[in-house]
Amino acid sequence: MPTEKDIRKFDGPKTPFYYYDTDMLNRTLESVTSESAKYGFHVHFAVKANFNRRIMETIAGHGLGADCVSGNEIKLALETGFKPADIVFAGVGKSDTEIGYALDSRIFCFNCESVAELQVINELAVAGGSVASVALRINPNVDANTHSYITTGIEDSKFGIRMEDLERAVSFASESNGLKLRGMHFHVGSQILNLNVFRNLCVRINEMLNWFDSRGNFIDVINVGGGLGIDHSNPDALPPFAEYFRIFGTMLERKPHHKIFFELGRAITGQSGSLITRVLYIKEGENTSFAIVDAGMTDLIRPSLYQAYHKIENITSAVGEVRYTVAGPVCESADVFARNIPLPVTRRGDLLAIRSAGAYGEVMASRYNMRDLPGSIFSDEAI
């Protein structure tokens, strides 16, 4: 956890800002790489979780690949040290320009979500004289038991190819000159802490492997997606990588030629980032005291959008205990980070750390109310 001293050494930067703990990030990456290496797995970082350049460079430095969902993410991944052969391109609505850019960049594989998309990738690849490797995103109908906005693998979700359309997608991908069918892709949701969800996913993947085998289709890429959650009530804890990878290592009926890909976002950067904000006012409400802070939903939207819990700590003061509702300055009733939480006696000028904000924090910031975007600082930056 950042201390007031850690923050002050930056000579009072303009709050709010994201504080990234480099040591925590490196420890997380070491755990991911060593636990996944036990099974020869390939881990791609889901860039959407955090596209801060330094974070990206650090992750590339640990040898992970990149899972991108836009042409701009591919460009940034290339700029920050990821090799084209380690980049996959996912997303339900890839534009022609983005597909063209990905083909020109010679990325490893497109994760495709519909027959219509396969047709466009094929046309563009043929026109440019190349062949696109594709994995088909299959909707596995496995419930992630997480917030409905971040559940993706159940029926009627906009993501993935339905079982009814799979036959057609496989035939098209196998018969088109501009496409090479490499494999299948899954992703059931995000912030998944019940690891049984991944056990269910493995069962489903094995069924699909048999399905491909029975049709005589050769595939060598199995992309199991991401989704491993983090413990928001214990922001200093690493995610349970050992158990997570063991599930896939023991349950997947894998053949020697199969490459197993993961696309983890939150589990890689989530615990390394805190949003640091300053208390502007203490204000008495009818049934609660408000700590009005200078960060708002524009800096970290997760509590407002998903009712997400982020632990909040007062890093200036540790005396006493009072309950506060911590709210931001944005003109929306939803601009509240936490209601009625115990904090030390808090005063104007105190710094609060909103923890576990290293994924889907900085990247989802907006300029609503014409607010400035939050800055970022790394724990090892020169004083």
> In one letter, which amino acid is 241?
F
Residues of the shown chain interacting with ligand LLP in the complex, contacts defined by CB under 6 A: 46, 49, 67, 90, 150, 152, 187, 190-191, 225-228, 263-267, 302, 306, 359-360
CB nearer to ligand LLP: pick between 69 and 293: 69
Left (φ > 0), alpha (ψ -120 to 50) or beta: where does 307 sit? left
CB nearer to ligand LLP: pick between 324 and 360: 360
CB nearer to ligand LLP: pick between 182 and 266: 266
Helices 22-37/241-251 angle, 10° precision: 20
Which H/E stretch holds residue 222?
Answer: strand 221-223
Nearest distance in Å: CB 149, ligand LLP: 7
CB nearer to ligand LLP: pick between 7 and 264: 264
- List all residues 6 or more positions away from 210 whose beta carbon is below 8 Å from its beta carbon: none
Q: Do the beta carbons of residue 335 and residue 299 sit within 8 Å?
A: no
3-state secondary structure of 375: strand
CB nearer to ligand LLP: pick between 192 and 291: 192
Can you read off the two tokens belonging to residue 59? 């992750």
Residue 28's φ and ψ, nearest 5 degrees, are: -60, -45
Q: Is 127 exposed, middle or buried (0-12, 13-18, 19+ CB in 10 A)?
A: exposed
- List all residues 6 or more positions away from 274 whose beta carbon is below 8 Å from its beta carbon: 1, 2, 18, 19, 21, 235, 353, 354, 355, 356, 357, 358
Nearest distance in Å: CB 4, ligand LLP: 27
- Cα 297 to Cα 214: distance, rounded to the nearest angstrom: 50
CB nearer to ligand LLP: pick between 7 and 46: 46
Nearest distance in Å: CB 173, ligand LLP: 18
CB nearer to ligand LLP: pick between 299 and 350: 299
CB nearer to ligand LLP: pick between 49 and 56: 49
Nearest distance in Å: CB 47, ligand LLP: 9
Nearest distance in Å: CB 306, ligand LLP: 6
Nearest distance in Å: CB 230, ligand LLP: 9
Residue corresponding to tokens 């983090």: 230
Nearest distance in Å: CB 127, ligand LLP: 27
Q: Do the beta carbons of residue 21 and residue 3 sit within 8 Å?
A: no
Question: Please, what sign has the CA dihedral across residues 265, 267, 271, 272?
Answer: negative
Nearest distance in Å: CB 90, ligand LLP: 5
